[in-house]
Structure 1
């Protein structure tokens, strides 16, 4: 029997543990904070639960267009919202722990240090124990980056892991950073009724996303009353009594009641013994891995945010599964980033898969494109949806679907059909021949495929 030691209990770790157990491995999982890791306890699950309430508030605010009159005094109870957020996070953690237990995975709550590829020392509340192992998977995740000029205090200056202690909707939330995390929280607090200022160092929010999609989101943000400061870089954040002052590098200042720092992530790779064991890290501390999650040391694998490949829970889980399949002799399909679907949980959402507009415009990939605004979709009209679009990319001549973008309500659900098409290399004609419900938002995806048809 192969003994596998997994360090980190987030999606990369617990999914790997379940696969390894199914494939006959003897699995020990070491987690420092709790099963599910930061993804479940302080990051993805809590933030999307908060966003669910914000989305509801946004829908309530727009209900008059659909003929529903709602009292103007409707307000969220943020204390109750955050208690629900944390309760659901703990429930999800408990569900995962139960799955691991029924799969005969041994879970140790503690910290780990790698001695070499066959030895891990685990420190728990009961003391140290040395584990002999045949292979190691490092899935330790990452934590919020802060700077010496912007130190969180957990009360007024916050990281995204600290916002769930707030009992009242902030009067004025300043969000520093307009990447995915910053944009999501800015959207969420705007929907909850807070005044929001978003500080963006680039000329547009969400600089890593589809430019057309980012333009829609920024337009929605400003239309809903958010102040977006483009091309503005934070120099420092200071607490002054019950206020915070954000100073920008050009000398301007922004004053608010709270500040959320969304400055990126730092991998949790320090003090694990990785360098001493010979594992290669890049200059930012991320673990170098190949497409089957192998590190530079035989028998040591890595998955998830600590690798910096794509900092998504779904990618972490897939890296972990691939690692265990490779280790234990199952069929392996190496990680293919061209098939990864991702979503930005703003309101509206942005979902993408495959080839990007930037790659096409830059001449890296030849593609034909069809783009349809949701304002032409009958279901969108019924639901009062005014923002969003569907975009498909196909290879010229053969018509194979190689990418897509959906901006709209529940885009995270709608992108799955495009993801299947990209993964299965379906043509636009095959996609268009599949029935879509009328009326439905997914009908616009089918119509985009029809627009890309070339007569034979």
Structure 2
């Protein structure tokens, strides 16, 4: 180990949402802060560089193409160019913001050599840094299925396929979760024939069954084909494509394969075991409700702690850590935690599919007496915005406690669902009743009028 130990008030490993936000706030407060990132292409974190921002940019341009495009391949290439320009801009801006705040950004790979001591291998040398507080925020990485041929050139991950050279005519997607569904929507919108291979017995398995069945029909009309209760067993190279053999004996011919079976916490290079930091069987860093690890002064935030893999969850993680590590100065250390968080989610298919709270089955299973209020978007006469947009496919469902009239859960499959679900989450969090949400006054024409239509 070379050199003497450099002391910091805070060391952050990884440029994720939680870590970078805490780093900048503490640096502005006068602390000496180091942020270690091994890949300059990841300044700003997963969301900005390979996740939410670039994929939603591609999806936005896909939607514009569907309104009047005539050449999917050219439109896809233009979308890639806009995606890349935006990512470069945001990546550079994140580095600039961190450095302007006073954060010392160290480009290198870090590993634990002491409970709060990190050895960082940089291009020039190895530096040893120690923090009074250490935050692990290294994010997650793609899970590669154990299928022979998964290393072939035409087999992609959710990161690499964003840079695919040509729009595929036929694409096989292995996996049926949100990442798979979003990419199926993206490529089908540009004209690709898509096949989803999923080992589940139904599509969109994490959503309300009735809404999922309706959404599956919408996706199938977009030239997205589902092969359920099935798995890929072999990828074989062909002269001008790739052959995918399935467990049921069938064969799919394609130009490309996307492996989208999920992501796992990125912890393999941290050498956590050397200092006794506990991990789960999947490699996630074990934390309590305040995101503390079992080692004093060491926290884990974002995807790496095994929680929901969303950047807004990571943003809330930063608030929890700030309160726990530095809140004593304000008299409320540990006041915030992960307990009872109401977390909305959106899968950006077309239209968006958003959910929050409990499903009908989960609520009944917990002993609630529920009433369900649901309907098709096309049938809601007082909600004209989807008709104006020409996007009348959709469905909304609310699960309500009969006794209290509180909203237990909601699923929205409609235009603007990614925005509306946040209002429902606020209603659940604040104890607003379904009748109160339904009695609100909403701008017209807006999709939020579905609250009036279903709950008013």
Q: Normalising by the residue count of structure 1, what TM-score does the alignment of the two structures yield?
A: 0.90
CA contact (8 A) 2:176 2:197 kept: yes
CA contact (8 A) 1:247 1:254 kept: yes
Give the corresponding residue for 2:4.
none
Moved more, 94-103 or 133-142: 94-103
1:162 to 160, 163, 175: 160
2:446 to 424, 440, 445: 440
1:174-253 alignment to 2 at 5 Å? Answer: 174-253=172-251
Deviation at 1:108, TM superposition (A): 1.1
Q: Structure 1 residues 361, 256: closer, same or farther in 2, change over 3 A?
A: farther
1:48-447 alignment to 2 at 5 Å? Answer: 48-58=56-66, 60=67, 70=68, 76-153=74-151, 155-329=153-327, 331=332, 332-336=335-339, 338-363=341-366, 365-375=368-378, 376=380, 377-447=383-453
Moved more, 331-340 or 115-124: 331-340
CA contact (8 A) 2:107 2:122 kept: yes
CA contact (8 A) 1:40 1:92 kept: yes
Moved over 6 A (4+): none
- Structure 2: distance between partners of 1:265 and 1:71: 33
Give ranges in structure 1 of 5+ residues lacking alignment.
Answer: 61-69, 451-456
Q: Structure 1 residues 344, 336: closer, same or farther in 2, change over 3 A?
A: farther
| Cα deviation code 1:331-356 (max 9, x no counterpart) | 43212454111110111111112222
Deviation at 1:22, TM superposition (A): 5.0
Moved more, 379-388 or 303-312: 379-388
CA contact (8 A) 2:69 2:75 kept: no
Deviation at 1:154, TM superposition (A): 7.3
Q: Structure 1 residues 222, 118: closer, same or farther in 2, change over 3 A?
A: closer
- Structure 2: distance between partners of 1:279 and 1:145: 23
Give ranges in structure 2 of 5+ residues lacking alignment.
Answer: 1-6
- Structure 2: distance between partners of 1:311 and 1:442: 27
- Structure 2: distance between partners of 1:71 and 1:116: 57
SS of the aligned residue for 2:273 comes to: coil
Deviation at 1:150, TM superposition (A): 4.7
CA contact (8 A) 1:291 1:335 kept: yes
Give the corresponding residue for 1:31.
37
| Cα deviation code 1:29-76 (max 9, x no counterpart) | 111113122322222222111111222233x1xxxxxxxxx5755764
Moved more, 373-382 or 195-204: 373-382
Give the corresponding residue for 2:3.
none
SS of the aligned residue for 2:275 comes to: coil
SS of the aligned residue for 1:347 comes to: coil
CA contact (8 A) 1:247 1:253 kept: yes
Deviation at 1:24, TM superposition (A): 4.8
CA contact (8 A) 1:348 1:387 kept: yes
1:44 to 43, 48, 52: 52
SS of the aligned residue for 1:134 comes to: strand
| Cα deviation code 1:74-117 (max 9, x no counterpart) | 76432332122122112111222222223222211111111223
- Structure 2: distance between partners of 1:97 and 1:175: 34
Deviation at 1:206, TM superposition (A): 2.0
Deviation at 1:378, TM superposition (A): 2.2
